[in-house]
Amino acid sequence: ITVLQRGSILAEGPYAEVSKDPRVMEAYMGTVDAELQGAH
């Protein structure tokens, strides 16, 4: 599969590999730091 972020290829390959890519996880799921910044 190919994962795009803002029009550029972020990751490409078999699902098993791409789904574990930290960049893909951050782009689609966010990070703990990003979640905490929005918390009030």
pLDDT at 36: 58
Rounded-to-integer distance, Cα 27 and Cα 18, Å = 12
pLDDT of residue 31: 73
Q: How many domains does the chain have?
A: 1
- Predicted pLDDT at 29: 86
- Residue 39 has a pLDDT of 53
Q: What is the DSSP letter of 13?
A: S
Can you give the residue range of the structural domain that contains 10?
2-38
Query: Each residue of 1-40: pLDDT tens digit?
Result: 999 999 999 999 999 999 999 999 999 888 766 655 655 5
Q: In the chain, what are the helix, strand and coil shares in percent, each to the nearest 5?
A: 50, 20, 30
